[in-house]
């Protein structure tokens, strides 16, 4: 006979997987096609890179109110479900913009900001809630396996969306296809909200719930090993985002890849994550989050070399595989490190503040890359300079990652 607690755990983990899969459908059909949509409506290469990062910073600032609103609402689950539903609603005006043939850049920026604000507002509460559902003993392996399934879902959705766009573009219905994708993405997020609502909530708010003041958190980061981790995360994000947001424009406008080839190249890192995550889950379980984070940083550093040296599709696919393994190690390591370093009662407020820093780092990287790209003329050579700068910054961040690796055991963040 199956223990009731074991049955409840399995039910919650299954619903969490379904929520995550629905969420990744939204990301693959909608979020990751925003830069391509910006190009399609004629807003330019630089803005197509910025639309994926700069609105994220504005959204992160808006979600700073999350801990206080969750406290007033008195339930992590209720907050997560409602913000997920609001994020789904943002796709309605995005689909309308596509159907009418475009909109001014400020309108697209506002819609992207609302998308990120609602999504980021969900994150801090969800990460606190999910930690109460997944026992620490199985956490590393569960999230590795969960992430493997979710990234496979994303890859299938993204490639399928690319094929639809290519088919529609050839027949003169490119923007109508974007509208369809945005509508499907909104429906997927609605399904995600439904599965979130079906999961249990062991405690509406963790015992000892508190909102950590900004000054207190900065003092902690300055005074213990968690500060090294945060600094490393921010530095790597600046380095990566200097180039990554502009790969879409580079493939579409300079290399002139079809939507299908673009989607296959873009999805390759996510397939590589799927393949690597099981082994990385075992690695993280055995060696810990810090070493997994270090491995990701080391693999990140050379992953743009092929983009600098060649336009060979085969070599670019190989580079994307390396990038995918790096992303898998980095995301799993930093995700698990967050659980190790932050008390459950403070996770919502700490993660909200962390989102601001992370989004700032991502926005800074994309602003540096976009400014350089625009200043150099947004041609093929300009892109290569952006990729070279990103590579140099990735190698420069490695000493910070090494300090994380050799830091003593967990501390409060």
User: Can you tell me the distance from the alpha carbon of 174 to that of 161, in angstroms, rounded to the nearest whole number?
Assistant: 11
pLDDT at 342: 67
CA atoms within 13 A on the CB side of 134: 21
Give me the tens of pLDDT residue by residue for the chain, a chain 413 residues long. Answer: 334 355 577 888 889 999 999 999 999 999 989 999 999 999 888 888 888 788 888 878 877 788 888 888 888 899 999 999 999 999 999 999 999 999 999 999 999 999 988 988 888 888 888 877 877 777 777 877 787 788 889 989 999 999 999 999 999 999 999 999 999 999 999 999 999 999 988 777 777 677 777 777 777 777 666 677 788 888 999 999 999 989 988 998 899 899 999 999 988 988 888 888 778 878 887 887 778 888 888 998 999 999 998 888 999 999 999 999 998 888 888 877 766 666 666 777 777 788 888 888 988 999 999 999 999 998 999 999 999 999 999 999 888 887 765 444 433 33
List b or e across 220-247, with b for residues whose CB sees 16 or more CB atoms inside 10 angstroms.
bbeebbbbbbbbbbbbbbbbbbbbbbbb
Burial class (CB in 10 A: 0-12, 13-18, 19+), 134: middle
Q: Does domain 4-405 have CATH number 1.20.1250.20?
A: yes
Q: What is the CA radius of gyration of the chain?
A: 21
Structure tokens at 256: 């002139």
pLDDT at 411: 36
What digits encode the pLDDT tens for the residues 66-97? 888 888 888 889 999 999 999 999 999 999 99
Give the closest residue to 201 by CA, choosing from 115, 89, 73. 73
Give the closest residue to 123 by CA, choosing from 231, 225, 23, 203. 23
pLDDT at 320: 93
Domain ranges of the chain: 4-405
């Amino acid at each position: 006979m199956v223990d009731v607690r074991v049955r409840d755990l399995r039910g919650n983990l299954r619903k969490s997987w379904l929520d995550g899969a629905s969420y990744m459908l939204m990301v693959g059909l909608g979020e990751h096609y925003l830069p391509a949509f910006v190009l399609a409506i004629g807003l330019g290469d630089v803005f197509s890179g910025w639309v994926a990062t700069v609105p994220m910073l504005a959204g992160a600032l808006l979600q700073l109110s999350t801990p206080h609103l969750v406290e007033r609402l008195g339930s992590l689950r209720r907050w997560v479900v409602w913000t997920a539903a609001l994020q789904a609603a943002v796709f309605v005006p995005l689909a309308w913009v596509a159907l009418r043939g475009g909109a001014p850049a400020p309108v697209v920026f506002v819609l992207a900001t609302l998308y990120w604000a609602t999504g980021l507002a969900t994150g801090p509460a969800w990460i606190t809630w999910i930690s109460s559902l997944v026992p620490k003993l199985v956490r590393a392996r569960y999230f590795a396996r969960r992430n493997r399934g979710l990234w496979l879902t994303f890859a299938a959705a993204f490639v399928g969306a690319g094929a639809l766009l290519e088919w529609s573009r050839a027949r003169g219905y490119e923007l109508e296809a974007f509208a369809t994708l945005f509508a499907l993405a909104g429906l997927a997020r609605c399904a995600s909200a439904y599965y979130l609502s079906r999961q249990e909530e062991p405690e509406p708010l963790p015992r000892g719930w508190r909102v950590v003041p900004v000054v207190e958190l900065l003092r902690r980061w300055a005074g213990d090993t968690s500060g090294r981790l945060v600094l490393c995360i921010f530095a790597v994000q600046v380095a990566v985002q200097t180039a990554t947001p502009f790969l879409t424009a580079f493939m579409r406008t300079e290399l002139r890849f079809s939507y299908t080839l673009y989607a296959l190249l873009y999805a390759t890192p996510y397939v590589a994550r799927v393949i690597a995550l099981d082994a990385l889950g075992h690695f993280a379980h055995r060696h810990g989050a810090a070493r997994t984070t270090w491995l990701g940083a080391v693999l990140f550093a050379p992953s743009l070399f092929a983009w600098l040296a060649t336009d060979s599709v085969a070599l670019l696919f190989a580079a994307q595989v390396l990038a995918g393994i790096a992303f898998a190690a980095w995301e799993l390591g930093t995700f698990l490190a967050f659980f190790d370093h932050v008390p459950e009662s403070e996770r919502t407020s700490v993660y909200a503040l962390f989102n601001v820093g992370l989004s700032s780092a991502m926005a800074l990287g994309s602003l540096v890359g976009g400014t350089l790209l625009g200043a150099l003329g947004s041609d093929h050579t300009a892109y290569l300079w952006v990729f070279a700068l990103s590579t140099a910054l990735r190698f420069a961040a490695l000493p910070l990652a090494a300090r994380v690796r050799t830091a003593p055991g967990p501390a409060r963040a």
